[in-house]
Chain A
Amino acid sequence: MNREQTAKARSAKAKHEREWLAIDAVSAVGVGVREGEVCIIISVDTNPASLTSTIPAGVDDIPVVVERRGRIEPL
């Protein structure tokens, strides 16, 4: 895992997560790896395609991936 890239992703996430969490469909924001690349992953409970105009494909040189994960509840 690229620690430098992970730290950069964490920093970018911290800077932008509040605006993403203010979107009704967003249930979580985290840092993960997709296709070998460290990225910010935004979990939503709706069709990710409906958020393409609202959530950028990347911030601060870090890719942003939107995934449908459903509503998060205590188990």
Chain B
Amino acid sequence: MPASLEELRKAISEARSVLMAKPNVTATGIGYKTTNGKKTSELSIICSVEVKRPRARLRSAEIVPATISGVPTDVFPTGPMRVLQDRTGRYRPAPGGVSIGHYAISAGTFGGLVTKNGVRYILSNNHVMANSNDASPGDSILQPGPADGGSWTNDEIARLSEFVPIVFEQNGDAGRGCRLAATAAGFLNFLAAIAGSRTRLRTYTVQTGTNKVDCAIAEPVSPGEVTNEIIELGSLNSTVEGELDMEVRKSGRTTGLSSGVIQQVDVTARVSFGADRVAVFEDQLMAGPMAQGGDSGSLVTDTQNNAVGLLFAGSSTTTIINRIQNVFSQLGVTLR
């Protein structure tokens, strides 16, 4: 006869302290037993463990009895338990991975700390801390960012020091580019339409510079208000070149800790910064979807906590990452 819910509650309240004393059990609860990978209709006491190992490889103190007071048990692997932290709150000292932003933007991510001439700076994106070029050194950087309630009066954590300007594409159709090219493209697109093709050409002028990075640094108003740790990643070891098939991770304001794989290298990407503002970025890394809006500025690492890149853009299926070597060389910074 299956145990009733009341019987289970009584059994678990009596056994909980014994079960939780086992070194491998991280949680106990009531739920349907799973047998051979299939959920059954039988209620059981479920003991959560990080990793489920064969009974023969367990010490006696780790073994969960098959029944407790006649009630069946089950062991469920959950992986490591961790505290889910709200990255949008106010942190002092503030670690990498939390909300940050220039006072005039919404919010991005505090990537981590870098050093220049012996001074520690917060590293993030230009579009997070320098408002996509529309900022001046000395501007207030808030933690949390304005979209997360950060205010100019209470939450200033740093002041903008430097940023690498983003070079935006000049749209030929807007009249600043080559009129002849625009006319030619228009004519070719007209012919393409007549021929039934949906492919369209666009005109653009060659940029006066090449973007390789979207980055900025800000000096903390007080060194004690920041910490070298990155939430759920810890501290960084070194830097490493991003390569195809490399497994990477990031700790960001919106999606927290996430992982992915470098799927493409040497990527040239057209990034839309809103109304009629497009910038082309060269020498980028592309990973699968591992970030959402607000994660910009996250440091991307390999599995050994070596910095690989600085996350700054993406779509629903992709993540675009500046190479950390380009970020460090253009800003003239180091990890320590």
Give the B-binding residues of A (Cβ under 8 A): 1, 6, 10, 13, 17, 21-33, 41, 43, 45-46, 50-51, 53-54, 68-75
Contact = CB atoms under 8 A, between A and B. Distances in A.
Contacts of B22: none
B310 to A, nearest CB: 12
Question: Top 10 nearest A-B pairs by Cβ distance?
Answer: A30-B264, A30-B267, A70-B315, A28-B269, A32-B264, A24-B200, A75-B296, A54-B199, A31-B266, A69-B318
Interface string B158-171: 00000000000000
Contact of B270 (A10, A28, A53, A75): A28
Interface residues of B, number: 46
Contacts of A27: 269-270, 315
Interface string B242-277: 011100000000000000000111111111110000
B251 to A, nearest CB: 14
A50 B214 CA distance: 32
21 contacts: A17-B268, A21-B280, A24-B202, A28-B267, A28-B270, A30-B267, A32-B263, A33-B244, A68-B317, A69-B317, A69-B318, A70-B318, A72-B272, A73-B315, A74-B271, A74-B312, A74-B313, A75-B293, A75-B294, A75-B295, A75-B314
B245 A33 contact: yes
B314 A1 contact: no
B199 A75 contact: no
A44 to B, nearest CB: 10
Contacts of B269: 27-28, 30, 43, 72
B174 to A, nearest CB: 15
Given A31-B265, A69-B315, A72-B315, A26 B270 contact: yes
A6 B286 CA distance: 16
Given A24-B200, A30-B286, A53-B199, 13 more contacts: A1-B244, A1-B245, A23-B200, A24-B201, A28-B270, A30-B264, A31-B265, A72-B270, A72-B313, A72-B320, A73-B314, A74-B312, A75-B312
Most chain B Cβ neighbours within 10 Å, of A1, A53, A73:
A73
